[in-house]
Structure 1
């Protein structure tokens, strides 16, 4: 993340090209502050259905204490046949060492399965980040396990963010994992974020599937801080 402002990626994910918001990242949210992101793909290319579709996402995090971050995230994917909604907490795993930041997260939520069944699901995440002179690097890994049908998913995504100008940031992101049907998927994307106001940024980018139908999408996302 940027040194002058701790970014939410986090997405994880933030995310972003994630199926599901991955803005989380390893950095804690400052106590008493909130970050909100809304977005998705607004146009599709080359018959994109899976693993890239419109994929609307919502991501919110709040700094409860200097160490404890609370969040809510949700998404829909695979042309609306999959999705989830989670509440979670994130804590530092160990003190920052040599510029590396680590954190763990755990959450509980609901997952929409392909037959329409909604299953209560647990989630565990491991997050790493490193601030750079002009940007940041982040890697987020998450695993999910359903409590009734034992459905399971996992993903790993990496983000490289770089400050390009006083109000412009560039991002390159990649994600791989396996979905509810056990299929392995991978995506890659690039985007630009424009800081319109100290509390608002707009991100525009392109996402391309490396597996499945190999389709692409034009991503539009808003970031709010208050």
Structure 2
């Protein structure tokens, strides 16, 4: 998916209920997320475009979470698909949650070729009285051309009512061509059923063409 990453801080923490990022998936539980931007504003191509994504987690044990994620970006000129595992790294009595992850996958390069890619990650989260904070760090490195990319994403979520949660996110990074980018987003999450959440939000690029997008995602737990 994204172009290869050498050092990437990614917090894909979708919420206390989704429990992605540093939090382990409960044993035997399956989590599926998919969606993307359904409308674009301005000349949105890079770093915001339709950007379809898929994200899958499975709790193999209480400590070991397996996953699969993929997406395309930059009008289909960048993309990747990864399989990975995540384990707790440093449980903390203060409520901080730490984990490390490792994965293997394939990355779409700017010239249209695909490269086998390795990925490492460091993840942190903290539960708050009515929400959470989260931060994930991931690094991707191509095994043949040594292509690389980095990003940092941070999230703050807050539950306003039993059915609605707000989510703020920010992301910075650099891509395969060495360009740097930054974007921010704000979302509302509807807890439609005990097993289904719907996220509707706005994403705005702070670099590149400074375009924006209207995001729609579904989160399922089985």
Note the residue ranges of structure 1 that are not aligned, 5 or more in a row.
1-9, 17-22
> Secondary structure of 2:92's partner?
strand
- Report the alpha carbon displacement of residue 96 of structure 1 after superposing the two structures with TM: 2.4
- Report the alpha carbon displacement of residue 154 of structure 1 after superposing the two structures with TM: 1.1
Partner of 2:110: 114
> Is this contact kept in 2: 1:11–1:24, CA < 8 A?
no
2-structure distance, mates of 1:123, 1:105: 8
Q: State whether structure 2 residue 216 is matched by structure 1 residue 223.
A: no
- Report the alpha carbon displacement of residue 95 of structure 1 after superposing the two structures with TM: 1.5
Partner of 1:6: none
Pick the aligned partner of 2:67 from 68, 71, 86: 71
1-structure distance, mates of 2:126, 2:194: 23
Partner of 1:163: 159
2-structure distance, mates of 1:174, 1:163: 19
Where does 1:49-60 land on structure 2 (aligned, <5 Å)? 49-60=45-56
> Is this contact kept in 1: 2:10–2:151, CA < 8 A?
no
> Secondary structure of 1:94's partner?
coil
Partner of 1:84: 80
Note the residue ranges of structure 2 that are not aligned, 5 or more in a row.
1-8
Partner of 2:31: 35
Which aligned segments of 4 or more residues in structure 1 are displaced greater than 2 angstroms?
Answer: none
- Report the alpha carbon displacement of residue 216 of structure 1 after superposing the two structures with TM: 0.2
Root-mean-square deviation over aligned CA pairs: 1.5
Distance 1:59 1:145, change over 3 A: same
Pick the aligned partner of 2:143 from 136, 140, 147: 147
Q: State whether structure 2 residue 133 is matched by structure 1 residue 137.
A: yes
TM value normalised by structure 2: 0.92
Pick the aligned partner of 1:209 from 205, 212, 219: 205
Q: State whether structure 2 residue 12 is matched by structure 1 residue 13.
A: yes
The alignment of Structure 1 onto Structure 2 pairs a total of residues equal to: 211
- Report the alpha carbon displacement of residue 143 of structure 1 after superposing the two structures with TM: 1.0
2-structure distance, mates of 1:213, 1:179: 15
